[in-house]
Amino acid sequence: MYFAALLARTEDGWEASDTELDDVETLSDLADLAREASAEDDTVLVLIEQEDAWFGVVRVDGEDDPRIYVSDAAAAARSSYGEILLTDELLGREPGDDVPDLDSLDLDGTEDGEPASAEDDEEEEEAVSAEAITHSPLGDGEILDDLGVSEKELRTLAAEDALSAIAEALGASEVLETVR
């Protein structure tokens, strides 16, 4: 289970709306969805929580690039919604680093004369991915500093209460609860 909500700052305070991420495939799609939630070019926060294992915050300020914070990168990497947030830039790798170089590929589909199975390839890719990403926060820890949540506070939030704690600090707990 996951929960995702948009909090848009307005002149009158925060407005919340729940959102489905089923049609969101990229960070750019998510940023566009956030921008649509704001009548002006005000701040919009996308809050995502998955099975009390991890949470993520994406901040979109007008046309600026989205800022991202993920509480547990490894847990998020195992989630289709988390993968949207874990961009190459956030992970500190060049785009396409996870794609093997064509010269290193065995193009006849065999290894030592044995046909390779798709299942073996998937298991190997998952093992490499899991090793590369740690169970630690990743992204812009100062994403909510100017809104009343310091980096230190953000890093100490437990996944199961993080969104409520963030909304409370913003003065938006009631509006968030209406969409939960």
The pLDDT value recorded for residue 14 is 93
| pLDDT for 6 beyond 90 | yes
What average pLDDT score do residues 149-171 get? 95
DSSP state of 172: -
% of the chain beyond a pLDDT of 90: 54
* Cβ contacts of 41 within 8 Å, gap of 6 or more: 35, 61, 62, 63
DSSP E strands in the chain: the ranges are: 2-10, 13-18, 43-50, 54-61, 67-70, 110-111, 114-115, 138-139
- Kindly report, residue by residue over 43-86, the tens digit of the pLDDT: 999 999 998 899 999 999 989 999 999 999 999 999 888 989 99
The pLDDT value recorded for residue 23 is 85
| pLDDT for 123 beyond 90 | no
Residue 119: pLDDT band by 50, 70, 90 thresholds?
Answer: low
Q: Which tops the pLDDT comparison, 104 or 143?
A: 143
- Kindly report, residue by residue over 10-53, the tens digit of the pLDDT: 888 999 988 888 889 999 999 999 999 887 888 999 999 998 89
Whether the model clears a pTM of 0.85, i.e. scores above it, the answer is no
**How many Cβ atoms are within 10 Å of 83's Cβ, its own excluded?**
15
Alpha helix segments (H runs only) across 37-179? 73-77, 80-85, 88-91, 118-132, 151-156, 162-170, 173-179
